[in-house]
Amino acid sequence: MTEETDALRAMTRILSPHCRVTRTSGGALIADWKRTRFLGMPTADLQKFADAGSAEHAELVEGLVQAGCAPVHRKQHSDAEVGLWLRGVHLLIQTVGFGRVLRLLSLAAPAYARSDSASAADVVPLKKSVQSHGHRSWFVNDDCKAEAVTAFILLRRRGLSAVLHVGAREHPFALHAWTSSAGLSVPDADPRGHAFTPVLSIDGGGR
């Protein structure tokens, strides 16, 4: 039973965010909610996922990739990719407005997408990259809205849980946006020591 549980966890880490795996009496069932289809896997194949270094494991992963149930790209986004996303999100906010961009977030994290728990190792590199580009780019110019939306989208595209907050403070009045994940915030939730009370929170779907 423990080996099968480990295999399910290993498979979950490989699958795309829009796919979920469920243990069945004969093996496992993969639900692909993006394409509305179901794929079965016998117990013998399921157990092979517990051995990440085996040739059988690699063959099964390749089969999932070809079926569209596992991504071929790396999970971590490169620094250059983060910069492109940040500038693109900033331009989109300037073009259509922050409110409309928030309504479009369901496209980045539809209700059927998984929302696995993130770790500090997932969030810290992304935070450093987002804030570094935000500081260096005269175009973005430390726009907290663009930084928060970029972090939210990139985390959710990896199937990780994240919540985007829009907060306000009264004296003096100001608005601020940040994304929280794994106990961290991108950008900081209290810039310059000023606390903001969340007035809107978007989690982008569930598990």
Task: List the structure tokens of 191.
Answer: 């810039």
Residue 111 pLDDT class (50, 70, 90 cuts): confident
Convert the pLDDT of each residue in 28-68 to its tens digit. 999 999 889 999 988 888 888 877 777 888 888 888 888 88
Q: In the prediction, which pLDDT does 205 show?
A: 52
Q: In the prediction, which pLDDT does 207 show?
A: 41
Average pLDDT over residues 85-96: 94
Question: Percentage of the chain with pLDDT > 90?
Answer: 45
Amino acid at 100: R
Task: List the structure tokens of 52.
Answer: 């990440």
199: number of CA atoms within 13 Å, CB side?
11
Convert the pLDDT of each residue in 151-186 to its tens digit. 999 999 888 999 999 999 988 889 999 999 999 999
Q: In the prediction, which pLDDT does 206 show?
A: 41
76: number of CA atoms within 13 Å, CB side?
12
Residues present in the chain in total: 207
Higher-scoring residue by pLDDT: 2, 121: 121
Distance of alpha carbon 86 from alpha carbon 155, whole angstroms? 13
